[in-house]
């Protein structure tokens, strides 16, 4: 098994705040990891431009890193893995997405029909509305933790399929993922939950969401 790098870079979602990933970053620090945040402007830059900025940020690091991304942050990381495959293969150890619509967003597509929505939500939002697949097949070890809420249809009647109020479950699924798991929660609560934290840390450490110690006792 490859040695796990001590550096885990966190990539925020569209809100540009550390509130959602702060508790998870704290958990990683308690495990001995360093947890810098990569910041970007989803309104000023499109997904491709943000992916390029992420590469520039990672190139400043002297060693291999792992990455944890929430929501739109995962879309940007997926674009980075696909566009800069050789760089990602050498520089990125493991990646965890939290509720990231890597197949585009049906909700963004519907909202984008409202005049002026692009000006309000920005360029990354318009890329999500195109509903393209952002994560291609690659050698990267990538896991997805998705949310699915039992209250989703009440809170957001615009999405008919299983979802976390903002992102449909199928929008988080891809054959390019190493593993995919889901947690019964909404989009905003997902990165704050202890069970999601445990899954995330386990994947970064081992490359799997499965608790190998439990498996070995069965």
Domain range for 65 is 8-217
* CB neighbourhood size of 115 (10 A): 7
Report pLDDT digits (tens) over 124-182: 988 888 867 888 877 789 999 999 987 656 566 768 788 899 999 999 999 999 999 99
Number of domains the chain is built from: 1
Q: What is the mean pLDDT of the chain?
A: 89
* Mean pLDDT, residues 187-210: 96
Report the pLDDT value the prediction gives residue 135, as an integer from 0 to 100: 86
Which CATH number covers residue 195? 3.40.50.1820
Report the pLDDT value the prediction gives residue 21, as an integer from 0 to 100: 95
**Does 41 have pLDDT greater than 50?**
yes
Q: Which pTM does this prediction carry?
A: 0.91
Please check whether residue 22 lies inside any domain of the structure: yes
Please check whether residue 204 lies inside any domain of the structure: yes
**Does 60 have pLDDT greater than 70?**
yes
Please check whether residue 2 lies inside any domain of the structure: no
**Does 215 have pLDDT greater than 60?**
no
Higher pLDDT, 1 or 9: 9
Please check whether residue 181 lies inside any domain of the structure: yes
Report pLDDT digits (tens) over 77-101: 999 999 999 999 999 999 999 999 9
* Mean pLDDT, residues 18-45: 94
Please check whether residue 1 lies inside any domain of the structure: no
Q: Which residue, 108, 154, 170, is CA-closest to 162?
A: 170
Please check whether residue 3 lies inside any domain of the structure: no
Using pLDDT thresholds of 50, 70 and 90, give the confidence band for residue 1: very low
Using pLDDT thresholds of 50, 70 and 90, give the confidence band for residue 199: very high
| DSSP-assigned letters across all residues of 167-199 | SBGGGG--TT-SEEEEESS-TTTGGG-HHHHHH
């Amino acid at each position: 098994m490859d040695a796990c790098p001590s550096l885990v870079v966190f990539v925020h979602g569209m809100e540009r705040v550390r509130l959602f990933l702060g508790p998870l970053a704290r958990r990683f620090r308690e495990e001995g990891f360093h947890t810098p945040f990569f910041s970007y402007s989803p309104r000023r830059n499109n997904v491709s431009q943000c992916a390029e900025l992420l590469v520039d940020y990672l190139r400043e690091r002297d060693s291999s890193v792992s990455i944890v991304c929430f929501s739109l942050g995962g879309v940007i990381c997926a674009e980075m893995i696909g566009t800069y495959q050789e760089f990602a293969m050498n520089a990125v150890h493991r990646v965890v997405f939290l509720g990231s619509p890597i197949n585009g967003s049906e909700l963004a597509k519907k909202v984008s029909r409202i005049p002026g929505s692009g000006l309000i939500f920005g360029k990354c939002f318009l890329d999500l509305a195109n509903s393209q697949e952002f994560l291609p097949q690659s050698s990267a070890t990538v896991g997805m933790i998705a949310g699915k809420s039992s209250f989703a249809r009440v809170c957001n009647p615009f999405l008919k399929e299983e979802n976390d109020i903002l992102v449909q479950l199928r929008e988080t699924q891809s054959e390019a993922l190493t593993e995919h798991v889901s947690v019964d929660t909404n989009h905003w609560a997902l990165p704050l939950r202890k069970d999601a934290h445990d899954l995330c840390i386990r994947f970064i450490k081992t490359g799997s969401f499965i608790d190998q110690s439990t498996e070995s006792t069965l």
